[in-house]
Amino acid sequence: MKTQVKIFWRYFKKNRLAVGGLVIIVITFLMAGSATLLAPYDPGKTEVSLKLKPPSFQHYLGTDQLGRDALSRMLYGSRISLTVGFVAVAISILIGILVGAVAGYYGGRTDAFLMRFVDIMFCFPTFFLILTVVAILGPRFYNVMIVIGITSWMGTSRFVRAEFLSLRERDFVQAAKALGVKDHRIIFRHILPNALAPVFVTATLDVATAILVEAGLSFLGFGVQPPAPSWGNILTEGRTYIFDAWWLTVFPGLAILITVLSFNLLGEGLRDALDPRLRGRR
């Protein structure tokens, strides 16, 4: 195990963009986790006399239309945006692994039925499906996470299925069957640990997608609702004052851009380092 980790790290660190993405993600997590310590003001405190003040030494990222400190709201908003991204991806990965594992291991009619269901799910425009479900259930924080999760598992299921179709014919699986090991133990103890490499890559890229979807929903008013700050609804509140208070749209927009780009770069780096066929290209 240690040898595999060393090999992975040796190839991963060669990709400077991926390492840079990882560093930015770690910094973002540390800032989100330390928001209560780093935020100079209460993110919900309003002071109308300070509304729409530009960036200064008193308010580093300026203030919004209610006089709230933009930096404090950005720091607290990072918690919500990252939480939505990771919880939604955790839900989608769990569903995708279960569906892909069952389809790939059993094959036949089970595989055909599950993959046709995946094909049907792929036919729906995902964002509009999420928008419709959130509109019906209500734009609550937990609804947003759950809906994004249960509508974005299809890609993971295909990756896991492909790995299971390959691994189920290996000698160690056949030996386990010959010894009478039960199917669920073979799936989760013997095959799944060897099929997780593409899942890690998919999960990293899906976190970026989930953050973008949450921002889009919040921008349209169907995501996290004020006064709770998220990068998406901070951006939404700033669009009304885009010509008078540029900082209300530029800074949350940059936060979303940099974070999503970092996750994408990390995902690319993980893919190159985990796939032996791609290691020689760097």
CA distance 117 to 50: 54
Q: Say if residue 279's pLDDT is above 70.
A: no
Architecture of domain 2-44+58-279: Orthogonal Bundle (1.10)
CA dihedral 185, 189, 192, 195 (to 10 degrees): -140
Q: Which is more confident, 91 or 201?
A: 91
| pTM of the model as a whole | 0.85
Least confident of 13-22, 79-88, 122-131, 184-193: 122-131
pLDDT for position 8: 77
Q: Mean of the pLDDT values across residues 261-266?
A: 92
| pLDDT at site 71 | 93
Nearest to 209 by CA among 85, 66, 83, 35: 85
pLDDT digits (tens, 9 = 90+) for 132-190: 887 787 777 788 888 888 888 998 999 899 989 888 888 888 888 888 888 888 888 88
pLDDT for the residue numbered 278: 54
Q: How far apart are CA 261 and CA 209, in angstroms?
A: 10
Q: Is the pLDDT of residue 259 over 90?
A: yes
State the Cα–Cα distance between residues 104 and 167, nearest whole angstrom: 9
* 115 close to 103: Cβ distance less than 8 angstroms: yes
